[in-house]
Chain A
Amino acid sequence: MSEGVASLGADAELSMLREMAASFAAGELLRGREEADRFPFSPLPLATLEKAHGLGLFSLTLPEELGGGGRGTEALALLLEAIAEIDASLGGVIFVNALAQEICLRSGAREALKGLVEAESAAQALIAFPAWDDPRFTAPTVCAVERDGGWSLEGKAEYVALSGLARRALIPAVTSKGGISFYLVGLRGEGVAVSDPVVSLGLRACPCHDLQLSGAEAAPVGEEARGKEAYEEAYIRMLPAAAALSAGILRGSLREALDYVRQRRQGGRLIADWSEVRMILAGMAAADQEAEMLVRGACRAVEEGGPGWRLAVRAASLRAMDLACEATTDGIQLLGGNGYMVEYHQEKRFRDSRQVQALMGTQDMKRQEYARLLLAEESPEWGRDVC
């Protein structure tokens, strides 16, 4: 199978990064992915997380002055795509953490990100975040109250990814000023109760927990009530990375299906020789190429800017996420009954693709927001609800 037309222009450094990611995934994730996916009924692969931390996978996009890789969206997307092809869960961990870091950066809170690279363990390096919510559209359920010159948080933060692993969480909250503000809260401190892991559809080794916050001490991240703007900036830069997860999952599904149809026989021939099977394969392969091109295009739009770039990023990323959901459904189908079984990994890809599609808010709200921005291009009053 070709490596994809869109990758031809990737520079040598990016290719090396992709190779490193692919060999890490093959060496570290392949064997244990089925067991890890049983979480919370099996332990998390903590040793793998430590290795990922050691390799700097949790600080790829962190600025160099903070000790990070200083890389942009495209590099992150390449990394995530290669990893997700084998097991998207670790990709989810990297994504959530990078999103939290990006929000801190866009909020101007660099201080909060110091020392992450040197952190002794992955737990110390990672930042938990409710990555499946878009705080611009779903009002936060946590309030921040100023008390004795400090801040404390009250309320329930649901579905906070990595909060069972990380030491700190970045939480969106409302203050008396209204709007949204971000706070970093220690997860082992007083006033923080972490629930049992929430069993989820996909990305199971990127676990989520609910948090009950009762007067938990918290440090503000950025200016009070300016969270929406910071979130939008982080969101638009991270959308292609989420789409890259989708593209990686899709490619994994296609490869597995291709292997299978070349071996399985029905009706006296390889199933690859039935023309209906070929139609499905052709659809998957085209979706694979399309997703890859969309991700590359979205990354380029983030990095190069230009007129309408935010729209382009949204359109491309949403489409890539949808494609992965459709293609992984076919990915199961081509394996028949075996596709529905855990051992063949297609069912995991089917679940993971949906889990990724819902990152940073529901797909339907993403579509609504896209339409509003599109209309605002022509006449700004349409876009007044969007920051």
Chain B
Amino acid sequence: MRKSGRGSLIGEYPAFDDIYCGLRALRRMPKAVIGETEKAVELARRFNREVVRPRALELDLRKQKDPDYLPWDLVREANRWGFYTMFIPRIFGGKGVNFPALSCVLEELASGCTGIANLVGVHYLGVATLCASWNIRLMNRVMRDTVAGYRSGEPCLISLAVTEPDAGTDVEEVELVRKARVSCHARRVKGGYVVNGRKIFISNGHLSTWHMLIAYEDLKRPQSTTVMLAVRNGTPGFSFGRQEHKMGQKACPASELIFEDCFVPDENVCVSAEQSAGLLGGAVEDAIMQVIDYVVSGSRAGVGAFGTGVARGAFEEALHYAASTEVEGKPLINHEWAQCLLAEMYKNVAVSRLTYMETNYANSLYGMFKVLNYRPVFYLFKYLPRPVIDRVIRPLLDLDAVTRLFRKIYFDWQPPPFTRRTSGWASLSKFAATDAGVRNCQLALELMGRAGLRHDGGVEKHLRDSKLLQIYEGTNQLNRLNLFKCLIAPSVPGAVVFDE
């Protein structure tokens, strides 16, 4: 085995820094993160009690009856509670709660309803994608739109549109996109791009105002001509297609987005192929993979949190059932086998939670959150008075130099082992926690029988919801391969992925 990273024994495989991310991160973590996280979790629990749990089953049924229904009332409610601006940094007008706390909020919400949790979580998938371009001017404009939506009561969500009818797994990985049959074309024209193509399965599509769109300048060379564009509703040539009829997570629509000669002006280009070529010393494909890695390192921790949440939802239903049911003249909860089963389910939740926490420690130390979670920056942004932000910081955000600085930090000064660490852990969390989510739902059903099969019992919905988690944000197979690529292959000379 090859040494990974440092020269001493501590750098030998498995490298200390690869396996104890939390240990190093804790030392640098601003103390206020704990209080912020506690408050965020409390709010999510209140939202669960007052909004999610009372409405989840009803909404699921409503959607079964009318598959085209859109849950605007719930989105407005989540907006009113501040969930769409909670994790937007204060310099962009948001509440600036630390990003890792998002995962904890998502776990809470998913324990009530994964579909509703997705209504919140997917918005931050859009935010994370926008941020991964480090186009600070555009980040400021789009996120301030969301903040304005919070103030006006008209939600302004952001979606991410990558998947195409013929390219799903392929667009999650540069090595695969090279051979992919992509069809969303972005033609360079004066002052912007003209886009033609179709995106499918886009979560929150119909409910979002902004869409982070991935397209390709040259469909034959997508790996080096990827562009990321921000498309706002109402742009001529952009329209919504059908909503998918899914097994679960019905609260959250999966939409088709259609682009027909849709002109996207330069000011809405997050990152062009030309700009990618200027990063990482011209290694375009590496730069594109880095963007993907930034996005998925954050978003897969979120999906890990969904998995943890749904595992917990199933556990809580099973616990309630065991405590209130008699079997053979004795409370089920006092049968030893049931106690072991419940302990197993509890373990599945706890271990899953540890995986997304560890991923977020990695992200805070080595990834997307590293600047914001750097103690001086954290406290500066937390306590800087709003008028100062508006008068002093805001004008700076429009300067090209600021975008250049951030791109320098996040691309040129980002050592590859850092990215591998965050991306590898994110994949680990994604497949470990989502497999545990499906498993716990199955265990709950096997315990509860017909009580679990009934819609009004709640568990069958958890099971339907959970299965999607093994598919989106890269199937669990792709995530296993990404873990191998990031955390195992570097130590084995000659090991390569997607080349069998």
Contacts and interface: CB of A to CB of B under 8 A. Distances in A.
Is B truly associated with A? yes
Interface of A: 38, 41, 132-133, 137-139, 158-159, 198-202, 265-269, 274-277, 280, 325, 329, 332-333, 336-337, 339-343, 347, 350-351, 354-355, 357-358, 361-365, 368, 385
B445 A336 contact: no
A320 B152 CA distance: 56
B180 A341 contact: no
A368 B447 CA distance: 11
Contact of A199 (B454, B467, B468, B498): B454
Interface string B434-451: 000010001001111110
B453 A337 contact: no
A337 B64 contact: no
Given A200-B454, A362-B448, A268 B179 contact: yes
B138 interface: no
B73 interface: no
Contacts of B452: 201, 358
A363 B467 contact: no
A364 B341 contact: yes
Nearest to B247: A347
A202 B170 CA distance: 33
Interface in B325-348: 326-328, 337-338, 341
A267 B169 contact: yes
A387 to B, nearest CB: 13
A269 B179 CA distance: 9
B166 A265 contact: yes
A187 to B, nearest CB: 19
A107 to B, nearest CB: 23
Interface in B115-170: 163, 166-170
B467 A132 contact: no
A160 to B, nearest CB: 11
A362 B456 CA distance: 18
Contact of B180 (A267, A340, A358): A267
Contacts of B442: 325, 354
Contacts of B65: 41
Interface in B199-248: 200-201, 244-248
Contacts of B327: 137-138, 365
A364 B337 contact: yes
A351 B247 contact: yes
A195 B306 CA distance: 35
A340 B467 contact: yes
17 contacts: A38-B64, A41-B65, A132-B449, A132-B453, A200-B454, A201-B445, A201-B460, A201-B464, A325-B442, A333-B475, A340-B247, A341-B244, A342-B245, A358-B445, A358-B446, A362-B448, A364-B446
B475 A336 contact: yes
B241 to A, nearest CB: 14
B163 A337 contact: yes
A340 B468 contact: yes
A178 to B, nearest CB: 12
Contact of A198 (B449, B455, B480): B455
B500 interface: yes
A134 B279 CA distance: 66
B169 A266 contact: yes
The 7 A-B pairs at the shortest CB distance, nearest first, are namely A268-B179, A362-B449, A347-B247, A132-B450, A199-B455, A201-B460, A363-B446
Contacts of A277: 477
A139 B332 CA distance: 13
A351 B168 contact: no
Q: Find the residue from B166, B167, B328, B450 having the highest chain A CB count within 10 A.
A: B450
Given A199-B61, A202-B453, A368 B163 contact: no
A337 B170 contact: no
A368 B64 contact: no
B463 interface: yes
Contact of A333 (B64, B168, B464, B471): B471
B455 A350 contact: no
Given A355-B453, A362-B447, A350 B167 contact: no
Contacts of B167: 266
Q: Find the residue from B169, B245, B449 having the highest chain A CB count within 10 A.
A: B449
A300 to B, nearest CB: 27
A363 B246 contact: no
Contacts of A362: 446-449
A8 to B, nearest CB: 33
Contact of A354 (B326, B463, B468): B463
A385 B329 CA distance: 12
Q: Find the residue from A137, A275, A341, A343 having the highest chain B CB count within 10 A.
A: A341
A342 B453 contact: no
Given A266-B176, A341-B246, A363 B449 contact: yes
B476 A200 contact: no
A201 B445 CA distance: 10
Contacts of B480: 276
Contacts of A133: 449-450
Given A41-B65, A133-B450, A199-B64, A337 B471 contact: yes
B462 to A, nearest CB: 10
B445 A354 contact: yes
A274 B178 CA distance: 16
A232 to B, nearest CB: 15
Nearest to A360: B449
Contacts of A332: 467, 471
Contacts of A139: 326
A280 B463 CA distance: 21
B447 A364 contact: yes
A267 B467 contact: no
B381 interface: no
Contacts of A265: 166, 181
Nearest to B173: A267
B472 interface: yes
B446 A357 contact: yes
B470 interface: yes
Given A275-B500, A350-B467, A158 B450 contact: yes
Contacts of B445: 201, 354, 357-358, 363
Contacts of B470: 333
